[in-house]
């Protein structure tokens, strides 16, 4: 009995020493570690929020951009614009007809039009459309629109959308002193590219406040949006005292953000896609530090309580543990081998009974977690496939339809028929649900895709698609080649001023399928370009390696020498 008591006391002494040393170390370093980790968690959460908010704002502005391209979907509106561009004066009747026609277009997407403050379409010789959802002001008669900076910027932008910084509109009567930001663009002849008129969509900066209404965060913050020139577009603060920390200065009538004190504020920023805007959030570091200290104190108290409880339990349950531990080791060994059905059979009254039950629960949770992650991985792959397919939809289809319209205007009916057939085949292929296709089907799809690009670029683009022997029946991921071909067109052919050729070949050597996509276009500096940032290319690389973990993808390029992509997939990896 004495020996057992000595052993128990010795085990207790070892337990105290083994926990006291880490405890003292934790007291010395916990404050800094906890502060760093807490700050990182806050920044991670805010980065996730700022990323999603930037995407939402981009979608909101993209919806407004749809109003600008509405006239292109109405033959009546385009015909009237063409007629207006050829006459000096526009009658009241013609202006009314145009207003009704364009108004009907806007009413088709009323959920968008309710968000903008006003819309204006002007020619050199006057206003042909004006609409406001909020006020009753109307443009001043005989106003010289050509002197407005936004009008000049739209003409110089050559068809691109221009984002106008905050400004007032002196050309309304009664006077409208609302500060607004605008999207302006020229409405152009699709064939001659000559501008018909300038369309201007106004929104109030306060429209952005809706994206921050649901943000509930424990740390005071300031959110603001600025453009590429540093002009302040919008700002709001969660607490009044934070307004004093947003320092601004006026420059040529525009507010700009001054430099922030990094010791007082944590600065997070995110580019708003497809716009010249950047979303910024400033966090109050003093509040972050106070929260970290409170977490640290709670953690230390919890550790002390746990230590005392563990010390007591150690005194009570150090006996009769060798056999349960051995049994648990055997169960863990089975789990390590992959047998997740192994079970620890506890005995009533044993000190480690609950630990054994916990081991069983952990093994069951681990099995469920593995199954859940496997299902989640499949769902992620499916979502990536949908994202890969969606990149074909907006700009490519818009450019293709413009090219086909140009063929129609030029009365090139055979080329138009061939283009429409290729577009039909392309869309049918994209909408298929199977993830794996034969290489022959993929090559036929690429031919249709490059044919449509050929219609757009004309003599500037040549292409060769060669399918090697015994490769046509091999399975590959659907839409495997398209992102690389599209990258060759956008970054190789489009910026190059010469005639360029895209060549796509396949061959089978020693059980390895080789697919090569090459072009002699502009090329790029591989040391200065992160091609993995392209969603299409990164998704393709991931899908290739999911199909074949030993797959090899090589991309080589240099400025002025084109780009070559080689994909090597093992022949038996299609299962």
Task: Supply the CATH number for residue 38's domain.
Answer: 3.30.450.20
- Per-residue DSSP letters for 40-51? HHHHHHHHHHHH
Q: Give the pLDDT of residue 344.
A: 72
Bond prior to 174 in cis (omega within 30° of 0): yes
* Residue partners of 421: CB distance under 8 A and separation at least 6: none
> Do the domain assignments include residue 542?
yes
19 assigned to some structural domain: no
**pLDDT score of 74 more than 90:** no
Residue % of the chain over a pLDDT of 70: 76
Residue 27 has pLDDT above 70, yes or no: no
Q: For residue 57, is it within any domain? A: yes
Scanning the structure block, which residue is given the tokens 């040393």?
21
Residue 488 contacts residue 519 (beta carbons within 8 Å): yes
Q: Is the pLDDT of residue 425 over 60?
A: yes
pLDDT computed for residue 35 by the predictor:
65
pLDDT of residue 459: 85
Burial 370-388 (b: 16+ CB within 10 A, else e): eeeeeeeeeeebeebbeeb
Does residue 443 sit within a domain?
yes
Rounded Cα distance, 342 and 347, in Å? 16
Question: Which contacts qualify for 6-12: CB closer than 8 Å, 24 or more apart?
Answer: 8/315, 8/318, 8/319, 11/314, 11/318, 12/311, 12/314, 12/315, 12/318
pLDDT (0 to 100) of residue 383: 45
Q: Which whole number is the average pLDDT over 111-137? A: 72
Grade residue 16 by pLDDT with cuts at 50, 70 and 90. Answer: confident
Q: Tell me how far apart the alpha carbons of residues 83 and 20 are, in angstroms, rounded to a whole number.
A: 89
* C-alpha–C-alpha distance, residues 138 and 54, integer Å: 33
In a domain, 354, yes or no: no
Task: Identify the CATH number of the domain in which residue 443 sits.
Answer: 3.30.565.10
Taking only the tens place, the pLDDT of each residue in 469-526 is: 888 888 888 888 888 888 888 888 888 878 889 999 999 988 889 999 999 888 888 7
Residue 524 lies in a domain: yes
Q: Residue 575: what pLDDT?
A: 44
Contact 121, 199 (CB under 8 A): yes
Q: What DSSP character marks residue 218?
A: S
User: Quick one: pLDDT at residue 564?
Assistant: 93
- Domain end, chosen from 286, 301, 316, is at 301
Q: Does residue 353 have a pLDDT over 80?
A: no
Question: Which residue spans within 91-140 are E strands per DSSP?
Answer: 118-123, 126-132, 138-139
Please indicate, yes or no, if residue 223 is contained in any of the structural domains. Answer: yes
Residue pLDDT, tens place only, 79-103: 888 887 777 677 777 778 887 877 7
How do residues 188-243 score in pLDDT, each as one tens digit?
888 888 888 899 988 888 888 888 877 776 788 888 999 998 899 998 888 887 87
Exposed, middle or buried by CB within 10 Å (0-12, 13-18, 19+), for 501? middle
Out of 301, 326, 355, pick the residue that ends a domain.
301
What is the per-residue DSSP string for 525-566?
-TTT--GGG-HHHHHHHHHHHHH-TT-EEEEEE-TTS-EEEE
In a domain, residue 406? The reply is: no
Structure confidence by residue, pLDDT tens digits, 390-415? 455 455 666 666 666 766 666 766 77
- Mean pLDDT in residue range 329-356: 70
CB atoms within 10 A of CB 245: 16
- Over residues 151-167, mean pLDDT: 91
Q: Domain containing 469: what range?
A: 433-574
Per the structure, how many domains does the chain have? 2
Bridge partners for 200 per DSSP: 120, 184
Looking at 253, 278, 301, the residue that finishes a domain is 301
DSSP calls for 363-431: HHHHHHHHHHHHHHHHHHHHHHHHHHHHTTTHHHHHHHHHHHHHHHHTT-HHHHHHHHHHHHHHHHHHT
Q: What is the pLDDT of residues 509-568, one digit of tens each?
A: 888 899 999 998 888 887 777 666 666 677 777 778 777 778 888 889 888 888 999 999
pLDDT band for 428, please (50, 70, 90 cuts).
confident
The average confidence (pLDDT) of the chain is 77
Provide the H-helix boundaries in 149-255.
149-156
Average pLDDT over residues 417-429: 75
Contact 260, 282 (CB under 8 A): yes
Lowest mean pLDDT among 3-12, 51-60, 181-190, 304-313: 3-12
């Amino acid at each position: 009995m004495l020996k057992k008591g000595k052993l128990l006391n010795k085990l207790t002494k070892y337990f105290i020493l083994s926990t006291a040393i880490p405890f003292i170390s934790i007291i010395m370093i916990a404050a800094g570690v906890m502060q760093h980790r807490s700050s990182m968690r806050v920044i991670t959460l805010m980065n996730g929020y700022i990323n999603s908010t930037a995407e939402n704002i981009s979608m909101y502005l993209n919806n407004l951009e749809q109003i600008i391209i509405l006239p292109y979907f109405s033959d009546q509106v385009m015909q009237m614009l063409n007629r207006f561009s050829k006459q000096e004066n526009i009658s009241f009747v013609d202006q009314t007809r145009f207003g009704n026609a364009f108004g009907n277009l806007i009413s088709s997407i009323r959920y968008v039009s309710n968000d903008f403050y006003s819309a204006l379409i002007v020619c050199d010789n006057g206003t042909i459309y004006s609409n406001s959802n909020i006020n009753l002001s109307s443009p001043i008669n005989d106003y010289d629109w050509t002197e407005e900076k936004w009008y000049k910027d739209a003409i110089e932008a050559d068809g691109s959308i221009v984002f106008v910084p905050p400004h007032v509109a002196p050309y309304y009567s009664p006077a409208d002193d609302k500060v607004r930001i605008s999207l302006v663009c020229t409405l152009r002849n699709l064939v001659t590219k000559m501008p018909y008129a300038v369309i201007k969509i106004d929104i109030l900066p306060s429209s952005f406040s809706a994206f921050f209404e649901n943000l509930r965060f424990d740390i005071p913050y300031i959110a603001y949006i600025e453009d590429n020139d540093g002009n302040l577009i919008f700002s709001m603060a969660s607490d009044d005292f934070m307004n004093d920390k947003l320092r601004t200065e006026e420059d040529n009538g525009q507010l700009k953000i001054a430099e922030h004190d990094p010791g007082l504020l944590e600065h997070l920023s995110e580019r708003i896609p497809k716009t010249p805007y950047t979303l910024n959030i400033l966090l109050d570091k003093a509040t972050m530090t106070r929260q970290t200290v409170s977490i640290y104190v709670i953690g230390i108290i919890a550790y002390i309580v746990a230590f005392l409880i563990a010390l007591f339990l150690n005194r009570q349950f150090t006996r009769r543990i060798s056999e349960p531990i051995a049994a648990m080791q055997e169960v863990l060994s089975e789990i390590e081998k992959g047998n997740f059905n192994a079970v620890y059979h506890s005995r009533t009254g044993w000190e480690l009974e609950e630990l054994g039950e916990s081991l069983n629960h952990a093994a069951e949770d681990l099995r469920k977690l593995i199954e859940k992650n496997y299902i989640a991985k499949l769902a992620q792959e499916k979502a990536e496939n949908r994202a890969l397919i969606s990149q074909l939809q907006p700009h490519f289809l818009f450019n293709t339809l413009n090219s086909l319209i140009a063929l129609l205007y030029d009365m090139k009916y055979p080329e138009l028929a061939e283009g429409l057939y290729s577009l039909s085949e392309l869309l049918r292929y994209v909408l298929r649900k199977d993830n794996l296709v034969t290489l022959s089907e993929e090559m036929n799809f690429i031919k249709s895709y490059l044919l449509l690009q050929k219609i757009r670029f004309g003599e500037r683009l040549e292409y060769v698609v060669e399918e090697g022997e015994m490769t046509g029946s091999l399975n590959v991921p659907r839409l495997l080649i398209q992102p690389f071909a599209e990258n060759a067109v956008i970054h190789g052919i489009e910026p190059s001023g010469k005639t360029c050729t895209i060549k796509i070949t396949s061959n089978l050597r020693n059980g390895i399928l080789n697919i090569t996509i090459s072009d002699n276009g502009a090329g790029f500096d591989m040391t200065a370009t992160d091609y993995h940032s392209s969603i299409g290319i990164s998704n393709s690389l991931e899908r290739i390696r999911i199909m074949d973990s030993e797959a090899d993808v090589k991309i080589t390029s240099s400025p002025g020498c084109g780009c070559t992509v080689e994909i090597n997939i093992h022949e038996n990896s299609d299962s």
